[in-house]
């Protein structure tokens, strides 16, 4: 399914029998074009088998036209606003993501707090694009049911300080927090007010790609329920055959209650 004209503005729909919710899944890869949604297909299939309809989303990434700030954020906002009601009207919508996709999921949950005119900001009530406006705008106004972030890059300023993945955060936002503070203020979930929906984070204590302390920093003020998975590395949470997988399914089911 397409939500724009760019080849990367697309999502794949995985239906389920009598689904309890629709999961919009955002893949990881440090926002870089080298990594696309293909590696997350087994996850999408497994979630559908577990009773969730799934939208496996692609988005423009750093290294391709329009990728990075603000295009990546705009893509996530658009696909969440437009696609769910087209494929699963009436179902609760959960947004989930892994690694950099976990960052995007957390950011999506915080969109109601973005200032007017910021990339991805929700339209003002009564304006074009608000409830009663174009298709998809009602979803934006109605909001999400919850968020599941798997080993997320949840604190961009901290990720920049740590130099994660050879400066991936600076590539995504175009500089350090000191150089482009306005971008971090908009794009960093840890800099935004807590989301108004339930947020669960699953993060392994053996993750050497995104350290557990990044998730702890985000969750420190109680803005999320952080579940630490003992012995888990970065990719266990997206591998259906792993011992981490039952925790993923259980967390999504808990968010639908």
Query: Over 80: is that where the pLDDT of 252 sits?
Result: yes
Sheet holding 225-229, edge to edge: 11-14, 52-57, 21-26, 93-98, 146-150, 199-204, 225-229
The stretch 225-253 carries a mean pLDDT of 98
Mean pLDDT along residues 157-163: 98
Predicted structure pTM score: 0.94
Domain boundaries, the chain: 11-255
* Element of type H or E holding 107: helix 100-109
- Write out pLDDT tens, residues 124-158: 665 555 333 344 444 444 579 999 999 999 999 99
Q: What is the pLDDT of residue 221?
A: 86
How many Cα atoms occupy the beta-carbon half-sphere of 42 within 13 Å? 10
Per-residue pLDDT tens over the stretch 76-112: 999 999 999 999 999 999 999 999 999 999 999 999 9
Instruction: Kindly report, residue by residue over 209-218, the tens digit of the pLDDT.
Output: 999 999 999 9
CATH architecture of structural domain 11-255: 3-Layer(aba) Sandwich (3.40)
Q: How are beta strands 52-57 and 11-14 bridged, if at all? A: antiparallel
Distance CA 67, CA 72 (A): 5
* Average pLDDT, rounded, for the chain: 94
Quick check: 38 and 7 in contact, CB under 8 A? Answer: no
């Amino acid at each position: 399914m397409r939500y724009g004209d760019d080849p990367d503005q697309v999502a794949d729909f995985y239906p389920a029998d009598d689904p309890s919710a629709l999961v919009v899944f955002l893949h990881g890869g440090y926002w870089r074009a080298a990594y696309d949604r293909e590696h997350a297909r087994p996850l999408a299939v497994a979630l559908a088998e577990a009773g969730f309809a799934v939208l496996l989303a692609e988005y423009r990434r750093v290294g391709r036209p329009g990728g990075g700030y603000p295009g990546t954020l705009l893509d996530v906002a658009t696909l969440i606003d437009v696609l769910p009601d087209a494929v699963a009207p009436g179902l609760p919508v959960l947004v989930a993501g892994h690694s950099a996709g976990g960052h995007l999921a957390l950011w999506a949950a915080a969109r109601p707090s973005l200032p007017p005119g910021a990339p991805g900001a929700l339209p003002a009530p009564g304006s074009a694009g608000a409830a009663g406006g174009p298709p998809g705008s009602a979803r934006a106004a109605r909001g999400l049911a919850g968020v599941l972030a798997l080993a997320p890059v949840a604190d961009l300023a901290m990720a920049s300080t740590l130099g994660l993945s050879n400066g991936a955060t600076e590539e995504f936002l175009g500089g350090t927090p000191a150089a482009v503070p306005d971008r971090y203020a908009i794009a960093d979930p840890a800099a935004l007010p807590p989301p108004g929906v339930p947020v669960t984070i699953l993060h392994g204590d053996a993750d050497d790609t995104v350290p557990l302390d990044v998730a702890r920093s985000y969750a420190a003020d109680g803005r999320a329920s952080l579940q630490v998975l003992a012995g888990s590395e970065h990719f266990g949470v997206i591998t259906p055959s792993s011992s981490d997988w039952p925790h993923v399914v259980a967390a999504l089911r808990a968010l639908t209650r």
